Amino acid sequence: MTVALYVLGVVLVALGIGLSIALHEIGHLVPAKAFGVRVTQYMIGFGPTIWSRRRGETEYGVKAIPLGGYIRMIGMYPPHRGDAPGTIREDSTGLVQQMAAEAKEWEAAQYDPAEQHRTFVALSVPKKLVVMLGGPVMNLLISAVLMAVLLCGLGLPAVTNEVSSVSRCVLPADAPADASCEGRQEAPALAAGIRPDDVIVSIDGTPTPTWDDVSTAIRGAGDRTVPVVVERDGERLTLHATPIVDARPVYAADGSVERAPDGSVRTEQVGFLGVSGTRDLVPRPVTEVPGAVWDAFTATGRIVVTLPVRMVDVTRAAFGSGERDADGPIGVVGVSRLAGEIVSADRPGFDLEEKLFTLVSMMSSLNMALFVFNLIPLLPLDGGHVAGALLEGVRRTWARVRGRPDPGPVDMSRMLPVTNVVALVFIAMTVLLVYADIVRPITLF
């Protein structure tokens, strides 16, 4: 059963990645066709074609290597200046010029000169930007929708005001989990009659709808006897508890325990009751979605900016004894392993709802990564074409201001050597991540 669930997790994430790639390419395809560009291919994957069908002038298909996708538009590069009537064809023996010339000749052979007006290069700058940004923006929308499902549908992990456990006695803040209660003072909550599954409604007259409210009220009560209203089996009961003032851990904003430079737990003298809240998924208002999307964008951006350093860390972990950074880059194999681990996990508290939350969160993060990564201004990424279109806009505007002739579109074929180098780097990164995901995988538990 565990193996079947593991395979199910891998299949689910594979379908999610495939759908994300397909929608990314649709983000390019739809505006390109709307602007009249002839699109000859819409493909998911690279390498040999497994399946394809032609609909109108476009071939739709799936290829063998599921590591991306593409649409093929005619006329990605401007024609030779010498191809126009009355002009002299430029020629050069330079490597860059030769590569550009061969690329242009191949491009020109893919369509009839009468279709020049239907080429990508013939589009205006704004239309080029819409076509090239359509893919990344689609991933951004997917990420935002999934994040809205997480926040407003499933909810975010939080500790609620429902009691999960009641301490038997008062133990020091740094006591081990298996410490004995022999000779210890009875916990105030136990003495007051508070039970697991009770919902703490108020403390000392102050409503406690969240666990933060419960914690604040307890810590501020000192050693006074205060009324504690709980809801039990549909009824509200008023109990009386006398918290003790004790050295308790200091918690950071993220809920983690703060530690001193020597590693010891930081403590403060506050009221202590001896109850723990229940961890659950709590839905959040839709107004929090934009902030969550922005936080995810900035966090992903920091990862992308520091990617070279992080890849060095991955290399050291893969070929040395270092540990993988849980927040570092991960490949397709690693994502698949995590998905299998999530679905097949059999751990207390990690129920179906938690598994669904983790999977949806993973897909949201993946789409945000696709959005940010594709904005890098390097070919063959979408950001490279966006940079070319922006440069074209600047050149044309500057020429118009100075009263000079239109310089025409930017010749992106001259960037082919850089494009090839970038592509090789990306392939090397992909292979390294696959290897690292096999020999030194990032695990959830």
H/E stretch holding 243 reads: none
Alpha carbon 425 to chain centroid distance?
Answer: 22
**Which residue among 25, 107, 341, 354 is the active-site one?**
25
Spell out where 38-175 has E strands. 39-55, 58-73, 156-166
The torsion defined by the Cα of 292, 293, 296 and 298, in degrees rounded to 10, comes to -110
Q: Which amino acid is at 397?
A: T
How far apart are alpha carbons 11 and 364 in whole angstroms?
A: 17
Alpha carbon 354 to chain centroid distance?
Answer: 18
Tell me the three state secondary structure of residue 175.
coil
Catalytic annotation on 102? no
Alpha carbon 4 to chain centroid distance?
Answer: 27
How far apart are alpha carbons 256 and 111 in whole angstroms?
A: 62
Cα torsion angle, 366, 368, 374, 376, sign: negative
How far apart are alpha carbons 46 and 424 in whole angstroms?
A: 15
Active site residue ranges: 25
